[in-house]
Amino acid sequence: MKGSVVVTGGSRGIGRGICIQLAKTGYSVVVNYVNNSDAAMETKRQCEELAIDKNQRFVALKCDISDTSTHNQFVQTVFNEFDSLDALVNNAGIAPRQRDDVIQMSEKSFREVMDVNLVGPFFLTQRFAQEWQKRETSTQKHIVFVSSISSTMVSTNRGEYCISKAGISMAVSLFAARLASEHINVYEVRPGIIKTDMTSTVIDKYNRMIDEGLVPQHRWGYPEDIGKTVQALIDGSMPFSTGSVIDVDGGLHIPRL
């Protein structure tokens, strides 16, 4: 059996894809969610079905990542549940409730997106790093942040989302530099256009744009594309890399003429 991993927002979409890939390759997984307990239980069920070792364990655990006052309880629960925790995947995230022009976007929407996508993952990562420090283990740990192509690519009708993801990119650099000497590697996985609930409202628009050649590989990305990348990182496939950005976008990020 491999180690244990916490995946925030593991109930649906990309997070579920990550949980399933980890389950299939021998990891135990904490499936975090905020509202959707049925979806979290379904991820857990699929993980159990696909597990390859009878000692693997799967736990669905509610925590609103944006509410930092709940982090202590969450962290204590997961560290009590598993003897050793080997990785944190900061995946949970939201899009703005409505897409508004950057010169009209409300402060309420800005703060809401920032709290879930940036403030929550930043302080949760702090707590995990502190917990690992306390335990003074020399086993290699991994932290993966799921950012977005929007870290660098502008969408003027969801600026708050872009800013939150750009903030994640800097958080990755900061934590990677700080934690490298403590056997904790930190990575940014940067998805492009992925078929999930988050993109379901703009499916026609993206179908058209992909048909017209927006994505060099000419297809949508799927949660399993991200799952495979995250698993490779947590497996230790990039041991001499930290603070690295891995684009999982079919080539969307390549500037073209």
- Which residues contact ligand NAP (rule: CB under 6 A)? 8-9, 11-15, 32-36, 39, 64-66, 91-94, 116, 146, 148, 191, 193-194, 196-199
Q: How far is the CB of 129 from ligand NAP (least distance, A)?
A: 19
Q: In what order do the strands lie in the sheet with 28-33?
A: 58-62, 28-33, 4-7, 87-90, 141-146, 184-191, 244-248
Report the residue number, 148 or 185, with the smaller CB distance to ligand NAP.
148
Contacts of 87 (CB under 8 A, 6+ apart): 3, 4, 5, 6, 141, 142, 143, 144, 234
Q: Looking at beta carbons only, is 38 or 53 nearer to ligand NAP?
A: 38
**What is the C-alpha to C-alpha distance for residues 21 and 228, in angstroms, rounded to an integer?**
6
Q: Find the distance separating the first CA and the last CA of the chain, reported in whole Å.
A: 48
Q: What is the nearest approach in angstroms of ligand NAP to the Cβ of residue 192?
A: 6
Q: Which is nearer to ligand NAP, 86 or 225 (CB)?
A: 225
The residues, ordered by sequence, that sit 6+ positions from 103 with a Cβ below 8 Å of its Cβ are none
| Residues across the chain | 257
Nearest distance in Å: CB 66, ligand NAP: 4
Could you write out the three-class secondary structure of 185-254?
EEEEEEECCECCHHHHHHHHHHHHHHHCCCCCCCCCECHHHHHHHHHHHHCCCCCCCCCEEEEECCCCCC
B/e letters for 223-250, b = 16+ CB within 10 Å, e = fewer, are bbbbbbbbbebbbeeeeeebbebbbbbb
Q: Which is nearer to ligand NAP, 4 or 196 (CB)?
A: 196
Q: Which is nearer to ligand NAP, 92 or 138 (CB)?
A: 92
Q: Which of 67, 87, 177 is nearest to 131 (CA)?
A: 87
Cβ 51 to ligand NAP shortest distance, Å: 20
Q: Which residue has the tokens 């990755």?
A: 172
Q: Whole-number minimum distance, CB 118 to ligand NAP, in Å?
A: 10
Query: 51 or 162: whose CB is closer to ligand NAP?
Result: 162
| Minimum distance of ligand NAP from residue 150's CB (angstroms) | 7
Taking the complex as a whole, the smallest distance from the CB of residue 74 to ligand NAP amounts, in Å, to: 10
Closer residue to ligand NAP in complex, CB, 184/193: 193
